[in-house]
Amino acid sequence: MPTLNWIGKEAVIRHHKEVPFRLLETDEKLSHRDEDGGNLIVQGDNLHALKALLPRYAGKVKCIYIDPPYNTGKEGWVYNDNVNSPEIRQWLEKTVGKEGEDLSRHDKWLCMMYPRLVLLKEFLSEDGAIFVSIDDNELQSLIFLLTELFSTKNYLATFAWKTDGNFDNQAKIKVNHEYIVAFARNSDRFEHPPVVDPSIPDSSKLKRPEIRNTIVKNGPKNPISNIRLPAGFPAGFAEGELSEAEGDWPKFSGRAQIEEGTLSTEVVLSSGWSSKRLLEKFIENKFNPIRDSKNQETRFELMQSGTIEIVKVRDKPSHVVSTLGGFSSTQNMSARLKAMGISFDYPKPVELIQYLISMMGEECLVLDSFAGSGTTGQAVLKQNAEDGGNRKFILVEMDEGISRDITAERVRRAAKGYTTPKGKSVEGLGGGFSYCRLSEEPLFDEFGAIREDVTFAQLAEFVWFAETGTGYTGKGDSPLLGVHGGRAVYLLFNGILGDRRPNGGNILTKPILDELPAHDGNRIIYAAASRLGEATLQRERITFKQTPYAIEV
Ligand SMILES: C[S@@+](CC[C@H](N)C(=O)[O-])C[C@H]1O[C@@H](n2cnc3c(N)ncnc32)[C@H](O)[C@@H]1O
């Protein structure tokens, strides 16, 4: 498989591993709490924010949508599009070294994106997918990067989004589309999206709850044969007689009368057929619906013309096409944000993001690590309000001013409701979020020691992630963190068992072992030290791991 090379690639390829784990610090004042909880807005460089979020959310995100800088070379926007922001310049200098100064803006963009995409992939659940907005500036590079990280097999589509905006300019060929590149974490597990492209009219048969097709099929693959329909076979009409049109198939013998929606006497039909075996199964099943090879509910009906129709229940209507249109424009979204009292150039239309996230079902965690004005947050709240779904969002925005005054403020207004400058009041969508920053000091210092102010719950996340590679979902209120692959993982830290014991119960002794919640099987116990001998550890099926040195993520 061809791969993409650029100056600085060597330096960033493993960079995500060197990024220290920071802690998330909640700012209650900027949060807008609701009962359900679970939504997060994180202010900080997403490289650090993603690393901090990983122990909690690895493998738990079903939908990632990102809208990174397109690298157009334009300056002076609310955000800096050409990857030349002081933060990114400083990061490149540190990461790539002297060479970083000579990089072209394309090399810089690739250096910036690579480690972030590596981390983002770790968040996706097996049935999850990532959607990335981009334009012509970096489309090819992006597809190369994503293919290298996700593999060709998991490529889903490059959507062309017709931007519907103003393209009254002097270009020889005027560009009126952008792209959204989509990859699955594992294409075998990516399901048919339960949505129908909104351009499809309601009258379309794609929106009908049933799929109907005749099984009368004449051709070399379907030689003529007889089908015997017993009395009671269901019909697609209430009363009447079957009428065989001259020269038409099927041919049928005798008079076939339909009364109260079923055949009153047996009839034999002759034609070429498809799905004949399924029809026989349906008859054997006394005309009760059966399941086809794709487990779809299936039944058959006799029609007035004598044809038989196979009727399948459309479980989840699904019709997604690779061109996206009719989703409004960034200009229009900007104007709508103004009415919310928010100023941001080029926000994505909320309807576009709603459509993308609704492809991933009603129960999903949505991550956007280039949040900008927070469109993804509003899209999650709005989609939930519209279809009763239970989606949650995590938004990350680097720029402190944007994050506080635009991202969080916009989502707060969308949730609570607001009044437009013209005095029209708009009802809130409900929901809320916690607003977090990243701790200045990482979890481990340069000598590998744990920060003194770390709580049990915070360390539990890291220990669980280090041991299992999955996000920690526990409450952090028990030394037994959970069982993974049959092995129980324990942590003794910060006196989780009470302060009576030596070192606050952080040392594994016999009395402490007796106090631990039981597990019948192998146990991994993280603690500051162990006073148990080798023989006891073996007999008790315990692997002891010393904190902090054995926490290897
Ligand atoms: C194209 S805008 C996203 C617009 C967004 N989709 C919307 O609808 O408003 C990209 C955003 O990513 C932010 N950003 C750029 N680099 C970042 C980084 N390393 N970490 C977090 N955010 C970053 C920028 O500040 C900017 O707000």
Q: Is 368 in the pocket of ligand 1 (CB under 6 A)?
A: no
Q: Is 375 in the pocket of ligand 1 (CB under 6 A)?
A: yes
Tokens linked to 291: 């399941």
Kindly list the domain boundaries of the chain, sorted by start residue. Answer: 9-200+318-440, 210-313, 443-546
Distance, CA of 278 to CA of 157 (rounded, Å): 34
Nearest-CA residue for atom 3 of ligand 1? 372
| pLDDT value at residue 11 | 82
- Residues ≥6 apart with Cβ < 8 Å to 212: 309, 310, 311, 312
Give the distance (Å) from ligand 1 centre to CA of residue 247: 67
Alpha helices in 340-420 (DSSP H): 350-358, 375-387, 400-401, 409-416
Q: What atom of ligand 1 comes closest to residue 116's alpha carbon?
A: 19
Give the distance (Å) from ligand 1 centre to CA of residue 398: 7
| pLDDT value at residue 19 | 87
Q: Is 197 in the pocket of ligand 1 (CB under 6 A)?
A: no
Q: What atom of ligand 1 comes closest to residue 396's alpha carbon?
A: 21
Give the distance (Å) from ligand 1 centre to CA of residue 135: 15
| pLDDT value at residue 35 | 73
Distance, CA of 492 to CA of 170 (rounded, Å): 67
- Report the largest interatomic distance among the alpha carbons of the chain, rounded to a whole angstrom: 96
Distance, CA of 239 to CA of 248 (rounded, Å): 22
| pLDDT value at residue 80 | 45
| pLDDT value at residue 170 | 84
Q: Is 395 in the pocket of ligand 1 (CB under 6 A)?
A: no
Q: Is 46 in the pocket of ligand 1 (CB under 6 A)?
A: yes
Give the distance (Å) from ligand 1 centre to CA of residue 41: 13
Distance, CA of 8 to CA of 108 (rounded, Å): 8
Which secondary-structure segment (H or E) carries 389?
Answer: none
* For ligand 1, mutation pick of 15, 77, 79, 81 (most atoms within 8 Å of CB): 79
Pair 508, 531: CB distance under 8 Å: yes
Give the distance (Å) from ligand 1 centre to CA of residue 80: 9
Q: Is the peptide bond before 250 cis (omega within 30 degrees of 0)?
A: yes
Look up the pTM and report it: 0.84
Pair 41, 434: CB distance under 8 Å: yes
Which residue's structure tokens are 């603690």? 527
Q: Is 396 in the pocket of ligand 1 (CB under 6 A)?
A: yes
Work out whether strand 434-442 and strand 22-26 pair parallel, antiparallel, or are unpaired.
antiparallel
Fold (CATH) for 9-200+318-440: Rossmann fold (3.40.50)
HSE-CB at 265 with a 13 A cutoff on CA atoms is: 9
Pair 544, 537: CB distance under 8 Å: yes
What is the pLDDT tens value at each position of the chain, 553 positions in all? 788 998 888 888 888 888 889 999 999 999 998 777 899 999 999 999 999 999 999 999 999 999 999 988 764 433 444 456 666 677 777 777 766 666 777 888 898 999 999 999 999 999 999 999 999 999 999 999 999 999 999 999 999 999 977 777 888 888 899 999 999 999 999 999 999 999 998 888 888 888 899 999 988 888 999 999 999 999 999 998 876 666 677 887 767 789 999 999 888 888 999 999 999 999 999 999 999 988 889 999 998 888 899 999 887 788 999 999 999 999 999 999 999 999 999 999 999 999 999 999 999 999 999 999 999 999 999 999 999 999 999 999 999 999 999 999 999 999 999 999 889 999 999 999 999 999 998 988 877 788 888 888 889 999 999 999 999 989 888 999 999 999 999 999 877 666 555 556 788 999 889 989 999 999 999 998 999 999 999 999 999 999 888 877 6
